[in-house]
Amino acid sequence: MSLLELERVVKRFDDAEEEVRAVDGVSLSVGAGQVLALYGPSGSGKSTLLLLAAGLLQPDSGTVRFTGDDLAQLDAAELAAVQRRRIGFIYQSPHLMAGVPAVENAAVKLLADGTALRKARPAASDWLERVGLSHRLDHTPERLSGGERQRVAIARALANGPRLILADEPTGNLDSRRGRQVLELIGAIAREQRAGVLLATHDPQAAEIADVVLTLRDGALLDDRTGAEASSSLPPSVEPPRRLG
């Protein structure tokens, strides 16, 4: 059974007098230990799709299932528990708490789930070390660079040992070297912990860690290839091709 299943999912938004289908009949699945990279131009619906997958938006039609459960059928408390304990979401912007040390920002989901600070801090510290921030544990966001803040947010998303990782442009604020390291870390976690990964990105390097590459345009899927096939066709620093068919 897949960890994540989207079946004919549609999400509409009203833009002035026009209805926009941000996600238009998308079906996909992500299995345990699998990395699925989702490419597409800005405005193609990638971020909306990830929010639907996390249960942060409700589809207008279609079904989103996580470990077999229809997210729309969970009550608010059940859904919040799933999001807190079993899903790690890496946003485009870090959304860190101002004035709070990096280690406590990274531990926030553990603390929210009732883990004592004396246990949450070492767990968060381990993840900060894995993203190269062991020397910044007690720095507040105001003392971190944009790339460092993004890496704190990545550590926060991974600290609870999620079954499903949803990553929205996780390398967007990072240089190519740090971006590659983060992608390799996400790929390693998928294999080591049997986590599923749905990764929305413009970064050509993501195809190298992906098992499947999908292309999204105008809310609809266009094609899919294995990570190896996609990687071989993506020149460095060039957005993936937007094929019709």
Q: Which residues contact 192 (CB under 8 A, 6 or more apart)?
A: none
Domain range summary for the chain, segments of one domain joined by +: 1-86+162-175+190-240, 95-161
What pLDDT does 70 receive? 97
If one counts every other C-beta atom within 10 angstroms of the C-beta of residue 129, the result is 13
Q: ∠195-54-12 over CA atoms, to 5°?
A: 140
Residue 194 — pLDDT band, cuts 50, 70, 90? very high
Q: ∠161-163-169 over CA atoms, to 5°?
A: 85
Name the pTM for this structure. Answer: 0.87
Identify the three-state secondary structure at position 219: coil
Considering the domain delimited by 1-86+162-175+190-240, tell me its CATH architecture.
Answer: 3-Layer(aba) Sandwich (3.40)
Residue 244 to residue 17: CA distance in whole angstroms? 28
Residue 207 to residue 215: CA distance in whole angstroms? 11
Per residue in 55-78, pLDDT tens? 999 999 999 999 999 999 999 999
Identify the three-state secondary structure at position 144: coil
What pLDDT does 173 receive? 84
